[in-house]
Amino acid sequence: MKFTDGYWQLRPGVSVLRPGTVESVEVEPDGRALTVFAPIGRITGRGDTLNRPVITVRFFSPAPGVAGVTIGHHSGGLPKQPRFAIADRTDHPVRVTVTGLSARLTTGELTVRVALTGPWRVDFLRGDRLVTSSSERSIGAVTDAEGHTFVHERLALGVGETIYGLGERFGAYVKNGQTVDIWNADGGTASEQAYKNVPFYLSGAGYGVFVDHPEHVSFEVGSEVVSQTQFSVPGQSLTYYLFDGPTPKDVLRRYTALTGRPARVPAWSYGLWLSTSFTTSYDEKTVTEFIDGMSERDLPLSVFHFDCFWMRQFHWVDFIWDPATFPDPEGMLRRLHERGLKVCVWINPYIAQRSYLFEEGRQAGYLVRNPDGSIWQWDKWQAGMALVDFTNPAAVRWYAGKLKVLLDMGVDCFKTDFGERIPTEVVWHDGSDPQRMHNYYSYLYNKTVFELLEAERGPGEAVLFARSATAGGQQFPVHWGGDCESTFVAMAESLRGGLSLAASGFGYWSHDIGGFEGTPDPAVFKRWIAFGLLSSHSRLHGSGSYRVPWAYDDEAVDVLRRFTRLKLSLIPYLAAAAEEAHRDGVPVMRPMIVEFPDDPATAYLDRQYMLGPDLLVAPVMSADGEVTYYLPAGTWTHLMTGAQVTGPGWITEKHGFDSVPVLARPGAVIPFGTVTDRPDYLWADGVRLRLYAPAPGQRTRVRVPAPDDGPGAEFEVYHQDGTATVELVAGDSAGYHCEVVRVAG
pLDDT in tens, 538-580: 999 999 999 999 999 999 999 999 999 999 999 999 999 999 9
The CA distance from 422 to 425, in Å, is 10
In the predicted structure, residue 2 carries a pLDDT above the cut 50:
yes
Contact 85, 257 (CB under 8 A): no
CA torsion, ordered 218, 197, 107, 56, to nearest 10 deg: 30
Beta partners for 663?
616, 638
Q: Which of 220, 420, 485, 685 is catalytic?
A: 420
Strand partners, 690: 670, 739
Report, as an integer, the average pLDDT of 616-627. 98
**Under the phi-then-psi rule, with left for phi > 0, alpha for psi from -120 to 50, and beta for the rest, what region is 549?**
alpha
510: β partners: 480
- Which residues sit opposite 311 in a β-bridge? 321
CA dist 99 and 102 (Å) reads 5
| 709 has pLDDT over 90 | no
How large is the average pLDDT for residues 304-322?
98
Q: What's the burial of 140, exposed, middle or buried (CB within 10 Å: 0-12/13-18/19+)?
A: buried
Is residue 181 part of the annotated active site? The answer reads no
Residues 475, 463 contacting (CB under 8 angstroms): no
List the strands of the sheet with 237-244, edge to edge. Answer: 24-27, 34-39, 54-63, 66-72, 237-244, 207-211, 200-203, 163-165
Q: For residue 105, what are the CA distances in angstroms to 23, 119, 214? A: 18, 19, 27
pLDDT in tens, 404-419: 999 999 999 999 999 9
Please give the C-alpha separations between residue 644 and each of 41, 129, 561, 664, in angstroms, as whole numbers: 64, 39, 25, 9
What's the CA angle centered on 167, arms 222 and 161, to 5 degrees?
Answer: 30
What does the alpha-carbon distance between residue 414 and residue 310 come to, in Å, rounded to a whole number? 13
Give the confidence band of 742 by pLDDT, cuts at 50, 70, 90: low
Contact by Cβ (8 Å): 538, 513: yes
Are the C-beta atoms of residues 263 and 208 closer than 8 Å to each other? no
pLDDT for the residue 155:
98
Helix (H) or strand (E) holding 495: helix 488-502
- The answer to whether 420 is a known catalytic residue is yes
Identify whether the C-beta of residue 169 lies closer than 8 Å to the C-beta of residue 500: yes
Query: Which one is catalytic: 168, 389, 483, 614?
Result: 483
Q: Where residue 708 falls among pLDDT bands split at 50, 70, 90?
A: confident
Contact 676, 568 (CB under 8 A): yes
**pLDDT tens-digit map of 468-487:** 999 999 999 999 999 999 99
Amino acid at 49: T
| CA atoms of 549 and 283, how far apart (whole Å) | 19
Confidence of residue 710 (pLDDT cuts 50, 70, 90): confident
- Percent of the chain surpassing pLDDT 90: 95
* pLDDT confidence bin for 521, thresholds 50/70/90: very high
- For residues 489 and 114, what is the distance between their CA atoms, to the nearest angstrom? 47
Of 417, 485, 680, 685, which one is the catalytic site residue? 417
Instruction: Dump the DSSP string for 4-42.
Output: EETTTEEPTT-EEE---S--EEEE-TTSS-EEEEEESS-
Helix (H) or strand (E) holding 567: helix 554-569
Task: Report how far apart, in Å, the C-alpha atoms of 592 and of each of 170, 545, 609 are.
Answer: 17, 34, 5
Please give the model's pTM, rounded to 2 decimal places. 0.97
DSSP letter (8 states) at residue 586? -
**CA distances in angstroms from 123 to 54, 111, 132, 205, 317, listed in the order given:** 21, 8, 6, 15, 52
Query: How far, in Å, CA of 59 to CA of 32, rounded?
Result: 9
Please tell me the distance from the alpha carbon of residue 412 to that of residue 408, in angstroms, as a whole number: 9
**Is the distance from CB of 270 to CB of 536 less than 8 angstroms?**
yes
The whole-angstrom separation of Cα 351 and Cα 135 is: 50
List all residues 6 or more positions away from 400 whose beta carbon is below 8 Å from its beta carbon: 448, 449, 451, 452
Q: Indicate the residue type of 474.
A: Q
Between CA 114 and CA 59 the distance in angstroms is: 10
Would you place residue 399 in the very low, low, confident or very high pLDDT band (cuts 50, 70, 90)? very high
The average confidence (pLDDT) of the chain is 96
Task: Please give the pLDDT value at position 744.
Answer: 45
Q: Could you tell me the CA-to-CA distances from 336 to 303, 386, 446 in Å, in that order?
A: 9, 33, 26
Residue 673 gets which letter from DSSP?
-
Helix 522-533 with 554-569: angle, nearest 10 deg: 10
CA distance 297 to 520: 21
> Kindly report the CA angle at 78 between 73 and 79, in degrees rounded to 5?
95
Q: How confident is the model at residue 745 (pLDDT cuts 50, 70, 90)?
A: very low
Q: Give the C-alpha separation, 633 to 608, whole Å.
A: 16
Check pLDDT > 60 for residue 458.
yes
Amino acid, res. 519: T
Span 74-88, average pLDDT = 94
Give the mean pLDDT of 324-338.
98
What's the pLDDT score for residue 743? 53
Give catalytic status of residue 136 as yes or no: no
Is residue 378 over pLDDT 50? Answer: yes
Q: Residue 640 gets which letter from DSSP?
A: T
138 neighbors 119 (Cβ within 8 angstroms): no
Write down the pLDDT at residue 172: 97
What is the side-by-side strand order in the sheet with 662-664?
589-590, 609-611, 615-617, 662-664, 626-638, 644-654
pLDDT digits (tens, 9 = 90+) for 644-686: 999 999 999 999 999 999 999 999 999 999 999 999 999 999 9
Tell me the C-alpha to C-alpha distance, in Å, between residue 216 and each of 152, 235, 635.
Answer: 13, 11, 46
Alpha-carbon Rg for the chain in angstroms: 27
What is d(CA 428, CA 418) in angstroms, rounded to the nearest whole number? 19
Given a cut of 80, is residue 386 above it in pLDDT?
Answer: yes
Residue 275 class from Cβ within 10 Å (0-12 exposed, 13-18 middle, 19+ buried)?
buried
